[in-house]
Amino acid sequence: MVIAALGSFSLAALIGLYLLSLVLRERETPKGVAIIHGLMAATGILLLVIYIVGPGPDPVASLVLFVMAALGGAYMLVRDLSGHKPPKWMALGHGLTAVSGYVFLLLHALGILTF
């Protein structure tokens, strides 16, 4: 399950890099792409929750970071849909928070970091 979550987060990250490049260049972000990005990340969060419910050490820190990133992403999406560009600092913070969660989850999956 953790491998599937990592795969979903990886796809979300690739799409997120594209969206971040648009935000940093102050270009319009395609709403459909942003929604797909969010759905991929939400799928990863759901898979991570299912994994955490099982026995063994849990990567709760990763889940917390991904949920924080998701909240920031939801705020930026609502802002974007209402015609306001997302702030660059928030887009960067959103990405860095998600990358931190990804690194913790990857280290957990590799058995390097146990919680």
Q: What is the pLDDT of residues 27-79, one digit of tens each?
A: 999 999 999 999 999 999 999 999 999 887 889 999 999 999 999 999 999 99
How far, rounded to the nearest angstrom, does the alpha carbon of residue 95 sit from its chain's CA centroid?
7
CA 106 to each of CA 6, 20, 40: distance values in angstroms, whole numbers, following the listed order = 7, 22, 17
- Over pLDDT 90: what percentage of the chain? 90
Interacting residues of 70 by C-beta distance below 8 A, sequence separation 6+: 38, 41, 42, 45
User: With the CA atoms of 28, 36, 77 and 107 taken in that order, what torsion angle do they form, in degrees rounded to the nearest 10?
Assistant: -110
pLDDT-derived band of residue 5, with 50, 70 and 90 as boundaries?
very high
pLDDT value at residue 115? 63
Mean pLDDT value across the chain: 95
First to last CA, the chain: 17
